[in-house]
Every structure is written in structure tokens, then in C-alpha cells.
Amino acid sequence: MDAELEHLLAAIGPRLRSLRRDRGMTLEALSAATGISVSGLSRLESGKRRPTLELLIPLARAHHVALDQLIAAPATGDPRVHLTPLQHRKNGSVLVPLTQYPGRLQVFKQVIAPGPRRLVTHTGYEWFFVLAGELLLVLGERELTLRPGEVAEFDTAEPHWFGPSGDRPVEILHIFGPQGDKARVRARPAALRNEP
């Protein structure tokens, strides 16, 4: 099993413990709600037992959360909005489409796990806003490290790659537009209004 998948699985136990404690549930109460033994729950939360769908589905039901929340998919905001996260099977990255406008700007929330670098080119224009972690953006020969609150935009005809700058995932808002779409700044802070 690769290290990224191992890391993803290892994070499930502590997440389950935190979820149970945040809800003020005891292991005994959770056992009664799920049919999983107290010792089985304890081993799962401590990482001594591997999480399986047979264990995670009743736990998700007992906690009234979506299964993807137990495996680290990003929250989707308003619980009445049902977005469908897409998980990359090989490295655990998660992509949540926030818009569905064919041929127009596409907006995504992404949690990107570490993975191999492979420069690509295609038509279009991209913008990133880093929410958490550090993003490494490779544009041709240049490498930029972006931190939370920082943004980047570039033409995707330039060879590019992006992902975590280290061994931890990075969370971003990602906007992709068709060829020629660029941001049009309509308002600026007073201090920047006179700059070109």
C-alpha cells in the first residue's frame, strides 16, 4: 500500500474519536447505536484496527454525517446543499465541483494530496486561492510556493503543475475558465487605485 493511502487511512481513527467526543458520546452509546463492539470501536479510533466500509457506514449513520466526511473530504458549507466530492483513487485527493456551467467558469474546492509532478498544458486560464497548507505551483521553469490567503493566476498554455509543497495535503479554491477568460478587477482598495 502506498504511503499516501496509508496516511489517509491512519487519519480516520483520530477523526472518528474527535467526532464522537464532539457529540458527547461514549464508546458504549456508540456501540449500542452501531452494533460494533466497544473494543472494536476503541481499536478503530486508536488506529489498531483498519477501517472498512462495513465499519464506516454504520458509524456515519450514527453520527449523522456523510461517509466522505469520515475520510477527510472537505466540508461543503450549507448542509442543505448536496455537493458530490470526487475522490482520486490513487492518492486520496478530493475535488468538489462548486459550479456546473458547461463552457463557462468552473469553480472547485480541492484537497490535494502529495503526488508525482507532471507538467501539462491545455487551453484555458486558471486561478488559485490557498485555503490551508502550502501549494507549490510550477510554471515552466519557475516554482512558486503559495500560503493561505495567497492567489495565483496563469494561462494554462504554459506548462504547469500544482500540488502540496511538502508531504501534507493542501486545500485550495480553484477556478478554471475557457481560453481568453481573465479576471476583471472592478474594485480595488483605495491605496491601490492609482497604481497601473
pTM, 2 dp: 0.53
Is the pLDDT higher at 188 or at 127?
A: 127
Comparing 79 with 148, the larger pLDDT belongs to: 148
Average pLDDT over the chain reads 81
Strand order in the sheet with 142-146: 142-146, 135-139, 160-164
Predicted confidence (pLDDT) at residue 92 exceeds the cutoff of 90: no
> Rounded distance, CA 41 to CA 178, Å?
48
Judged by DSSP in three states, 122 sits in coil
| Cβ partners under 8 Å of residue 110, min gap 6 | 93, 94, 95, 96, 171, 172, 173, 174
Question: Average of pLDDT values for 129-134?
Answer: 93
> From the CB of residue 158, how many other CB atoms can be counted at a distance below 10 Å?
11
**% of the chain with per-residue pLDDT over 90:** 33
Q: How confident is the model at residue 75 (pLDDT cuts 50, 70, 90)?
A: very low
